[in-house]
Amino acid sequence: MNIVFLDRKTLGDDISIDQFNKLGDVTTYNSTKANETLTRVKDCTIVITNKVVIDKNIMNNSDIKLICVAATGMNNIDLEYAKEKGIVVKNVAGYSTASVAQLTFSFALEFVQKINFYDNYVKSGGWENSNIFTNLDKPFYELEDKVWGIIGLGNIGKSVAKIADAFGCKVQYYSTSGSNNNTTYSKQSLEELLKSSDIISIHAPLNNDTLNLINKNNIKSLKDGSILLNLGRGGIVNEEDISDAINDGVDLYYGTDVVTKEPIEKFSPLLTIKNKERVLFTPHIAWASKEARIRLLNGIEENIQNFVL
């Protein structure tokens, strides 16, 4: 079998893909542009893609039998046409739950604990030149007894809820589909969750129900000093609206791992936020702890083995 990795670099250079050599002849490309995809997959049996699009034209003009998505989401694959063509499409679910939950709390703890401020205070010589043993210039807070609202109580949302509960938070959630009726935590309408939560974390997919879910009409419902964390998809939070709100003085903190167009564009409204202490960014890394990426590759290997057998 000919196996092609289309965007190998998205999996990181610190982990090996040698395990796939036993499954077939492996060709790797660090990245693939749209106009390069067909040439690269034309004669392959199995294609492994993270974000490279595999559409009807690619399927019609290649010998692909199996598409392995190096992710959980499969919106870069024309799933209906693949089914029509008899092409098997496999993703890997659940590999990144712990990684996403961990980054969620990294964001939250930075906002409430002000670690970066105090680290800079010490490193810049402030502490050694102080005449008292401590410094309380930047108030910080406890997570205990805070209300933590979760938008999207799937596997990741449940993991976040469990950790928040361990910190002593009062957990509530909003179901974006309306079909989740978890009885462990309090279910709320979106409006109620926004106005009553101290911290809100988003762990939902992007679809017609969640596009621009957080916008100028409901941002004004947020509690003063609240923290909004987007670990779902960029389009769930209207980036212009959240940026305008913070620039206009709304007492709000925003942390996001995702943006509407990735990589972030030079003129993204998020980069215009003046008070940098109010915003935290990471470049879509929530899924990508080393352990998670190893689990992902093992899942892809298993999908290929099951296909062959």
- Do 102 and 178 reside in the same domain of the chain? yes
Q: Give the domain extent around 31.
A: 2-95+290-308
Structure tokens belonging to residue 41: 């997959």
HSE of 109, CA atoms in CB hemisphere, 13 A: 10
132 with 235, same domain: the answer is: yes
pTM over 0.85: yes
Q: What are phi and psi of 93, to 5 degrees?
A: -100, 150
Active site residue 233: yes
State the DSSP code for 141.
-
Distance set, CA 263 to CA 117, 143, 258, 259 (Å): 27, 32, 9, 8
pLDDT at 202: 98
Same domain? 300 vs 208: no
Same-domain check for residues 21 and 32: yes
Residues 165 and 122 in one domain: yes
Q: Is 76 exposed, middle or buried (0-12, 13-18, 19+ CB in 10 A)?
A: middle
136 and 233 together in one domain = yes
- Asked if 195 contacts 223 with a C-beta cutoff of 8 angstroms, the reply is yes
Q: Do residues 241 and 117 both lie within one domain?
A: yes
- Measured distance CA(304)–CA(175) in Å, rounded: 34
42 and 23 in a common domain: yes
Q: Report whether 174 contacts 193 (CB < 8 A).
A: yes
Residue 12's nearest CA partner among 30, 27, 24, 28 is: 30
Looking at 8, 40, 203, 233, which residue is catalytic? 233
Catalytic residue among 36, 142, 191, 262: 262
Q: What are phi and psi of 129, to 5 degrees?
A: -100, 5
Q: Which residues, 6 or more positions from 228, have their beta carbon under 8 angstroms from its beta carbon?
A: 200, 202, 214, 222, 237, 242, 252, 253, 254, 255
Kindly state whether residues 111 and 145 are assigned to the same domain.
yes
**Is residue 46 located within the same domain as residue 140?**
no
Helical H runs in the chain? 37-41, 56-60, 79-85, 97-113, 115-123, 155-166, 190-196, 216-219, 239-247, 290-308
Residue 278 known to be catalytic? no
- Cα-Cα end-to-end distance for the chain: 13
Distance CA 282, CA 141 (A): 23
Per-residue pLDDT of the chain (309 residues; tens, 9 = 90+): 999 999 999 999 999 999 999 999 999 999 999 999 999 999 999 999 999 999 999 999 999 999 999 999 999 999 999 999 999 999 999 999 999 999 999 999 999 999 999 999 999 999 999 999 999 999 999 999 999 999 999 999 999 999 999 999 999 999 999 999 999 999 999 999 999 999 999 999 999 999 999 999 999 999 999 999 999 999 999 999 999 999 999 999 999 999 999 999 999 999 999 999 999 999 999 999 999 999 999 999 999 999 997
Is the domain of 91 the same as that of 101? Answer: no
Give yes or no for a contact between 38 and 60, defined as CB atoms under 8 angstroms apart: no
Structure tokens at 218: 């409901």
In the residue annotation, 110 being an active-site residue is answered as: no
| Active-site position among 8, 284, 293, 295 | 284
Q: Which CATH number do you get for residue 200?
A: 3.40.50.720
Q: Count of domains in the chain? A: 2
Q: Which of these, 212, 282, 230, 222, lies nearest to 246 by C-alpha position?
A: 222
- Residue 274 and residue 186 in one domain: yes
